[in-house]
Amino acid sequence: MESCVVRSVLPALRGQCIHPFVADIRSSDKSAPGRAIHAERWRANCRAGDQQSTQSVPSVLPAPQLDLGGKEPNKSWNASSLAFLGDSVYELYARRRCFHPPKSAAKYREAVIQMVRAEAQSAACAKLSASGILTEAEAEVLRWGKNAPGTLPKRLERAVYRDATGLEALVGYLYMSGYHERLNTIMATLDLL
C-alpha cells in the first residue's frame, strides 16, 4: 500500500521543492562554510515553521477515497481495524517529525521506534486525556479503542497496551473520518507535527 501512495504522490511533486530552503541549497555554494550557513538557515526555517499555527500545516497523508454512505468509520470497522490503520498513520507522523535534522537511517529508525513504542503511545494517551483537548466523541472513540480485543505482548502491561491501542484507534478514526485538521491539532499537542 505504501508504494501505491508514494507512486500517486511523487508525480505531482516532481520538479517542485517540498521545503522552500531546498531550492537555496541546490543553487548555492557547496563549500564547507556554505554548507554550515545552509544548515543554520535550515534549522532557523524549521524553528519558524514549528511556531506557526497547525492550521497552516498540510495533512501528512492524502485523504481516503472511500464512500462510507454517510456512516461513521466506527460503524463500518471495529476498533482493532481502526487501530491497525491508526498505527501506520501515527508512525508516519513520527517519521515526519524525526526526519529533520538530517541523520543516518539507523538514527532515524531509532528515534521513530522510541516515539511509536506502546509505552510512548500510552504516555501520549495520558497527555491527551489530561489536556482536555478531546471532544466527547473523540473521548468515546478513545475509550472504545482501549476496550478492543487483542493479543497482549508479553513485555507489556495490560493498561499500557490498551492505552496505545486506544490512541491508535482514535488516530485511525480521525483519518478515516476526514478530520485532518483535527488530527493535525492532536498530533501537534503530542509534539508530532
pLDDT tier, 101 (very low <50, low <70, confident <90, very high otherwise): confident
Answer yes or no: 87 catalytic: yes
125: number of Cβ within 10 Å? 23
pLDDT at 67: 61
Q: Specify the pLDDT at position 98.
A: 86
Residue among 29, 87, 163, 191 flagged as catalytic: 87
What separation in angstroms does the CA of 31 have from each of 36, 44, 145? 9, 20, 53
The per-residue pLDDT for range 104-125, each reduced to its tens digit, is 889 999 999 999 999 999 999 9
Dihedral of CA 18/22/24/28: which sign? negative
Q: Is the pLDDT of residue 47 over 90?
A: no
Residue 54 has pLDDT above 90, yes or no: no
pTM above 0.85? no
pLDDT digits (tens, 9 = 90+) for 7-31: 344 344 344 334 443 434 444 444 5
Rounded to an integer, the average pLDDT of 78-83 is 90
Residue 52's pLDDT band (cuts 50, 70, 90):
very low
More confident residue, 188 or 14: 188
Helix and strand numbers (H, E) in the chain are: 10, 0
Residue 99, pLDDT score = 83
- Please report which helix (H) or strand (E) contains residue 41, including its range: helix 32-51
Cα torsion at 170, 173, 116, 154 (round to 10°)?
70
Neighbours of 61 (CB within 10 A): 16
Express each pLDDT in 127-183 by its tens digit.
Answer: 999 999 999 999 999 999 998 888 888 888 999 999 999 999 999 999 988 888 999
Position 135 scores a pLDDT of 92
Three cell numbers written together for 77: 470497522
What grid cell was written down for 75?
460503524
Amino acid 27 reads S
- Asked whether the predicted pLDDT for residue 44 surpasses 50, the reply is yes
